[in-house]
């Protein structure tokens, strides 16, 4: 490993001066919530205002490692008073700071990690030359660091990439060995990576917090190989079969010490957040934690629907943007205008359900800080710093309501007063929705509720189910298939698939509740391999446990009937004669709130260190860049997965038994042993 000063000829020696003493409630052993430092850099005096990154850890943060015999050991550290800070430089609106005071004023105590700050004109790294945060520090300009350009290996337009068989053994424990098999060192590095990612996402009103760390200390849990696509496939399978059962999360990333093929340092699915393919892999390619953090932020961006910045029209505040296809020495810290558009489109079009949870301030570990713009326990309001606050209802200094004010924010707050109970705060936007009204007692609009299941919707085309009106047409538009022929029991036309190679045909009355088929259109499926005959398109999906090409439960299949467990049944059979699936809280017309309120959203991001750790993160997105609830579509989140364009088969041919097939026959499904080598997904992107 190498420190930031190795090979550097010129650096400036500075001595940071702490500008305020400990408060009475603070002790020498605790880390203060806010710190101010002054120093002279490049002939200019600067003053840093730092605030502890309270989104770094959550209340249920845990760590898991494995003993030599493979037994997992999970614990919750008691003292997690960390030393990681974000901030800015006074009188420099373009400045950002990501620091640690773990051992001096830098990003960590170890030579693997570095403090980072940026002024309007220059980027810097900082590292202590002596112990303590008030000793001498080395400050060097970031361009003094020479790095090999690294890539996101699959471009936005890359469709089919085959990965050959490989006999090389897994090297995923490299990250753990790099940290000298020391959990403390590994934890510190991960905290540094996440601290930087958190800083990058803040301008998008998205906050990231660590909820767990899994250390693969005994052996690899998957086969980690140089082809990044094969590693991504293996990690996806492990994440869904193992990790999802032990730690609730919505997104997973693998950080590995292996050297991926070529210049690739990351790979991820695009637009798959909240799905079974909400994953990515990242190479631990640089001693600088912020460089790895930039790659993680990039791959997370793909999961959030962002493409590479491949146009000169994609601009950001820095010399390079987070979603640039290549990562060089100029580590990005801001998203481009194109990325922001992609993100908003993903939220509006996909409506990822795991993001529609109102954040709970009780889940974040740390003491509330007045002035950070986030409402926390004990605060009546928080409008930001004194300089930022424009809310006349909130006292920015104390985070209390101003005199005479009843509220400071909320759908039911107007002119600092709580609105009357008859005021509509969220309108009804479809047949399966209900309007919400202010209570007269709270500034928040009540929980979003919807009509009882089984009510006719969309002019008789469907029946309401949990606030949606599922129909075949809508599903075809969503995943671009059409449906037919489910009585045949073939690999692309069936009702149920209890095992990998078993395809149970539909009864004639249930054909609209099996495999989903669509007709016409030029789009390719979002997951699976496409099978096309006549004007119809279907999909074959390799894993029978994750077959997303089936008709959704609750879809209307006949008058008074809906799909349930791949059968077309009466509404009473599906929902009960008195809509028994409705909550006991339902009154009158029976409604239940399930869809989250679009005031803020929550996301659990899980990241893993191959051979080292699995890291769990929580992402929280606030209101400003989200649409209001009544403009959001209540649609199912769409998984994007592997697919390959296939020859047009004959409509009457059964699935051939031999690998060699007639030109007009449907292709056979891949053997189970070879499924890890399936062509890479259209919707993957790599750095």
Q: What is the mean pLDDT of each run of 10 residues along the chain (687 residues)?
A: 50 79 43 80 86 66 69 64 76 78 45 59 76 68 54 39 26 45 75 82 77 75 89 90 81 85 88 86 85 91 89 80 79 89 84 62 57 78 84 93 94 95 88 91 88 85 83 53 67 83 87 80 66 69 69 86 91 72 40 23 30 41 32 27 28 33 33 33 48
Tell me what pLDDT residue 393 has.
Answer: 96
CA distance 452 to 394: 39
CA distance 269 to 305: 9
Sign of the CA dihedral 196, 202, 206, 211?
A: positive
Residue 67 CB: number of other CB atoms within 10 A? 10
CA distance 380 to 378: 7
Tell me what pLDDT residue 58 has.
Answer: 59
Tell me what pLDDT residue 209 has.
Answer: 65
∠ CA(559), CA(560), CA(566), 5° rounding? 90
Contacts of 268 (CB under 8 A, 6+ apart): 232, 253, 279, 280, 281, 299, 300, 302, 303, 684, 685, 686
Catalytic residue positions?
299
pTM flag (> 0.75): no
Structure tokens given for 144: 């003094």
Sign of the CA dihedral 71, 76, 79, 84?
A: positive
271-292 burial: b if 16+ Cβ within 10 Å, else e: bbbbbbbbbbbbbbbbbbbbbb
Mean pLDDT of the chain: 68
């Amino acid at each position: 490993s190498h420190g930031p000063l190795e090979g550097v000829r010129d650096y400036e020696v500075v001595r940071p001066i702490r500008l305020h003493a400990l408060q009475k409630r603070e002790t020498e052993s605790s880390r203060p919530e806010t710190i101010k430092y002054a120093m002279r850099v490049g002939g200019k005096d600067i003053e840093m205002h730092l605030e502890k990154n309270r989104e770094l850890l959550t209340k249920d943060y845990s760590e898991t490692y494995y003993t030599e015999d493979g037994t997992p050991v999970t614990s919750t550290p008691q003292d997690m008073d960390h030393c990681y800070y974000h901030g800015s430089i006074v009188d420099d609106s373009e400045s950002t700071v990501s620091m640690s005071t773990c051992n001096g004023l830098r990003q960590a105590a170890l030579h693997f990690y570095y403090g980072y700050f940026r002024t309007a004109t220059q980027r810097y790294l900082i590292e202590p030359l002596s112990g303590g945060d008030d000793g001498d520090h080395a400050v060097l300009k970031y361009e003094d660091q020479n790095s090999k350009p690294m890539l996101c290996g699959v471009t936005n337009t890359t469709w089919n990439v085959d990965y050959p068989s490989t006999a090389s053994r897994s090297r995923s424990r490299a990250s753990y060995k790099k940290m000298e098999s020391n959990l403390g060192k590994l934890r510190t590095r991960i905290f540094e990576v996440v601290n930087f990612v958190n800083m990058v996402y803040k301008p998008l009103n998205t906050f990231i917090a660590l909820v767990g760390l899994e250390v693969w200390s005994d052996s690899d849990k998957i086969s980690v190989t140089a082809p990044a696509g094969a590693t991504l496939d293996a990690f996806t399978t492990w994440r869904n079969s193992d990790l999802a059962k032990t730690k609730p999360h919505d997104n997973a990333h693998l950080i590995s010490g292996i050297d991926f093929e070529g210049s690739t340092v990351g790979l991820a699915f695009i637009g798959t957040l909240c799905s079974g393919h909400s994953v990515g892999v990242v190479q631990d390619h640089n001693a600088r934690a912020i460089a790895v953090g930039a790659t993680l932020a990039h791959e997370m961006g793909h999961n959030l629907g962002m493409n590479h910045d491949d146009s000169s029209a994609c601009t950001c505040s820095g010399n390079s943007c987070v979603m640039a296809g290549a990562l060089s020495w100029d580590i990005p810290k801001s998203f481009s205008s194109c990325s922001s558009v992609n993100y908003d489109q993903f939220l509006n079009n996909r409506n990822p359900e795991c993001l529609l949870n109102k954040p709970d301030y009780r889940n974040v570990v740390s003491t509330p800080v007045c002035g950070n713009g986030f409402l926390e326990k004990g605060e009546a309001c928080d409008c930001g710093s004194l300089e930022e606050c424009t809310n006349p209802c909130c006292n920015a200094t104390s985070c209390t309501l101003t005199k005479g004010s009843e509220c400071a924010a909320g759908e039911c707050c107007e002119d600092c007063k709580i609105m009357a109970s008859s005021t509509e705060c969220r309108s009804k936007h479809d047949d399966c929705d209900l309007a919400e009204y202010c209570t007269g007692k709270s500034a928040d609009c009540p929980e979003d509720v919807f009509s009882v299941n089984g009510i006719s919707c969309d002019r008789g085309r469907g029946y309401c189910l949990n606030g949606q009106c599922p129909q075949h047409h809508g599903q075809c538009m969503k995943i671009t298939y059409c449906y037919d022929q489910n009585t045949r029991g073939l690999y692309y036309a069936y009702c149920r698939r209890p095992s990998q190679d078993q395809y149970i045909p539909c009864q004639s009355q249930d054909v609209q509740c099996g495999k989903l088929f669509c007709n016409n259109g030029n789009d390719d499926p979002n997951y699976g391999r496409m099978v096309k005959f006549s004007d119809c398109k279907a999909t074959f999906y390799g894993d029978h446990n994750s077959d997303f090409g089936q008709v959704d439960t609750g879809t209307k299949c006949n008058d008074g009937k809906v799909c349930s467990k791949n059968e077309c049944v009466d509404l009473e059979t599906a929902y009960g004669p008195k809509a028994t699936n409705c909550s006991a809280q339902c009154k009158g017309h029976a409604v239940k709130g399930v869809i989250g309120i679009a005031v803020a959203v929550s996301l659990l991001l899980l990241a893993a260190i191959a051979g080292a750790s699995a890291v769990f993160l929580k992402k929280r997105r606030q209101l400003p860049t989200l649409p209001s609830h009544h403009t959001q579509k209540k649609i199912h989140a769409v998984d994007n997965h592997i697919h390959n364009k296939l020859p047009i088969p004959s409509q009457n041919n059964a699935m051939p038994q031999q690998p060699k097939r007639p030109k007009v026959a449907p292709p056979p499904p891949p053997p189970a042993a070879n499924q890890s080598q399936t062509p890479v997904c259209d919707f993957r992107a790599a750095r």
